[in-house]
């Protein structure tokens, strides 16, 4: 059973008025974000991702529909209530948004400045979040002396200072190189697992969804066109846009030139075997070669463990007697735990 939602969007619409008319940026978005989950929202540039996040934290008011945060209707709160809710929602951005003339410690303390807390208490809180993100040694440095990854750690510490229940991440790793991205993803995972913070992760990179998220929703032209657990969505995408995103993380395609270079036997059949949940230790390749007397040539393989199950697949060439190959294909087709795709090789 799904745990309780910390955030729900109910038929959220957002229009912007431009000089040449009205643009619908969010077009009836429904989403339930389970408490304690990492929820990814993927979409191309202009899909409405940032607008969606701004509707969640109350920086934008939906044109119609409701945003519910822990039972409160965010778009109906007065300023005082809004301030309280917003302190429970942290936000991090692609550009870090640190103030250059403040030290890291001062930047981190900014969100609680309005509380006028005792200096020692502020110092204690800042020390705690900076050590949580591994940046204690940079407390008195200025943002300009930090690397991109360190700046994002500082921004995460700033988001943590108000002890948020949820952190909204808007392309938080898009400005970082892959290795640094990995370390920030690890940190975000730790905050989710150890501190129980719900994460809403907006990105255009499927790799981030694969490495970090439990659930994913695909946003296209202001509409959620597909959503579900990361595994079910990755292993069985329903929409072509989702399929395109999935294709960016499984590499099972080969161009004609490379294929010709392999010099497969004539009349070989190229097939993709895609893993689905439940593809366990079936020795598929040896079964088919033995049972149907065909040669199986593994050309490419890309298998990852995703949410505890194998995800990805193999690109293989079958060669031998054409009737045997047909029998092999018929056999593979009826196995429910794999997906089969026959590729035209003529």
Ligand X SMILES: Nc1ncnc2c1ncn2[C@@H]1O[C@H](COP(=O)(O)OP(=O)(O)OP(=O)(O)O)[C@@H](O)[C@H]1O
- Interface positions with ligand X (CB under 6 A): 16, 25, 43, 45-51, 204
Site string for Mg ion, 312-341 (x = CB under 5 A): ------------------------------
Distance of alpha carbon 78 from alpha carbon 113, whole angstroms: 21
Which one of Mg ion, ligand X, none interacts with residue 16, CB within 5 to 8 A by kind? Answer: ligand X
Apex CA 47: angle with CA 42 and CA 53, to 5°?
70
In 3D space, the residue among 36, 74, 64 whose CA is nearest the CA of residue 222 turns out to be 64
Measured from the CB atom, the residue of 146 and 202 that comes closer to ligand X is: 202
Measured from the CB atom, the residue of 51 and 235 that comes closer to Mg ion is: 51
Which one of Mg ion, ligand X, none interacts with residue 301, CB within 5 to 8 A by kind? Answer: none
Q: Least distance to ligand X from the beta carbon of 59, Å?
A: 10
Distance of alpha carbon 311 from alpha carbon 246, whole angstroms: 11
Which distant-in-sequence residues (6+ apart) come within 8 Å of 219 by Cβ? 29, 41, 42, 43, 47, 48, 49, 52, 225
Which one of Mg ion, ligand X, none interacts with residue 204, CB within 5 to 8 A by kind? Answer: ligand X
Q: Least distance to ligand X from the beta carbon of 236, Å?
A: 25
Give the Cβ contact number of residue 88 at 10 Å.
15
- For residues 32 and 24, the answer to whether their CB atoms sit within 8 Å is no
Measured from the CB atom, the residue of 204 and 223 that comes closer to ligand X is: 204
Helix residue spans in the chain (DSSP H) = 49-56, 79-87, 104-109, 119-132, 148-160, 178-195, 206-212, 230-235, 240-247, 256-262, 284-292, 322-333
Which one of Mg ion, ligand X, none interacts with residue 79, CB within 5 to 8 A by kind? Answer: none
- For residues 311 and 302, the answer to whether their CB atoms sit within 8 Å is no
In 3D space, the residue among 138, 139, 145 whose CA is nearest the CA of residue 126 turns out to be 139
Which one of ligand X, Mg ion, none interacts with residue 43, CB within 5 to 8 A by kind? Answer: ligand X
Q: Which residue's C-beta sits nearest to Mg ion?
A: 50
- For residues 304 and 288, the answer to whether their CB atoms sit within 8 Å is no
Q: Least distance to Mg ion from the beta carbon of 48, Å?
A: 8
Measured from the CB atom, the residue of 49 and 227 that comes closer to ligand X is: 49
Distance of alpha carbon 223 from alpha carbon 28, whole angstroms: 7
- For residues 235 and 275, the answer to whether their CB atoms sit within 8 Å is yes
Q: Least distance to ligand X from the beta carbon of 19, Å?
A: 11
Distance of alpha carbon 231 from alpha carbon 24, whole angstroms: 31
Measured from the CB atom, the residue of 171 and 210 that comes closer to ligand X is: 171
Site string for Mg ion, 26-55 (x = CB under 5 A): -----------------------xx-----
Which one of ligand X, Mg ion, none interacts with residue 131, CB within 5 to 8 A by kind? Answer: none
Which one of ligand X, Mg ion, none interacts with residue 176, CB within 5 to 8 A by kind? Answer: none
Q: Least distance to ligand X from the beta carbon of 261, Å?
A: 38
Q: Least distance to Mg ion from the beta carbon of 42, Å?
A: 12
Q: Least distance to ligand X from the beta carbon of 14, Å?
A: 8
The verdict on 242 binding Mg ion (CB under 5 A) reads: no
Q: Least distance to ligand X from the beta carbon of 117, Å?
A: 33
Interaction site with Mg ion (CB under 5 A):
49-50
């Amino acid at each position: 059973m799904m745990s309780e939602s910390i955030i729900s969007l109910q038929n959220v619409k957002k229009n912007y008025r431009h000089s040449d008319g009205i643009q619908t940026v969010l077009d009836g978005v429904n989403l339930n974000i389970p408490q304690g989950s990492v929820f990814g929202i993927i979409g191309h540039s202009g899909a409405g991702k940032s607008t969606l996040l701004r509707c969640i934290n109350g920086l934008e008011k939906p044109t119609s529909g409701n945003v519910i945060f822990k039972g409160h209707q965010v778009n109906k709160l007065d300023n005082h209530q809004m301030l309280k809710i917003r302190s429970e929602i942290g936000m991090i951005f692609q550009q870090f948004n640190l103030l250059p003339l403040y030290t890291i410690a001062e930047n981190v303390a900014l969100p609680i400045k309005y509380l006028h807390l005792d200096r020692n208490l502020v110092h204690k809180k800042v020390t705690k979040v900076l050590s949580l993100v591994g940046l204690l040694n940079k407390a008195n440095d200025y943002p300009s002396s930090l690397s991109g990854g360190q700046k994002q750690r500082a921004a995460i510490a700033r988001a943590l200072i108000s002890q948020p229940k949820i952190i909204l991440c808007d392309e938080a790793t898009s400005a970082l190189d892959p290795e640094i991205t990995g370390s920030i993803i690890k940190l975000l995972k730790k905050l989710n697992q150890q501190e129980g913070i719900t994460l809403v992760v907006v990105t255009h990179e499927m790799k981030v969804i694969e490495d970090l998220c439990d659930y994913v929703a695909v946003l296209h032209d202001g509409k959620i066109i597909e959503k579900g657990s990361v595994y079910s969505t990755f292993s069985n995408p329903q929409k072509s846009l989702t399929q395109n995103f999935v294709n960016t993380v499984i590499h099972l395609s080969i161009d004609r030139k490379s294929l010709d270079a392999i010099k497969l036997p004539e009349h070989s059949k190229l097939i993709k075997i895609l893993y689905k949940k439940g593809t366990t230790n079936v020795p598929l390749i040896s079964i088919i070669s033995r049972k149907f007397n065909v040669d199986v040539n593994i050309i490419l393989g890309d298998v990852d463990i995703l949410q505890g199950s194998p995800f990805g697949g193999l690109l293989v060439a079958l060669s031998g007697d054409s009737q045997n190959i047909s029998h092999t294909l018929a056999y593979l087709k009826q196995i429910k735990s794999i997906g089969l795709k026959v590729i035209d090789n003529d």
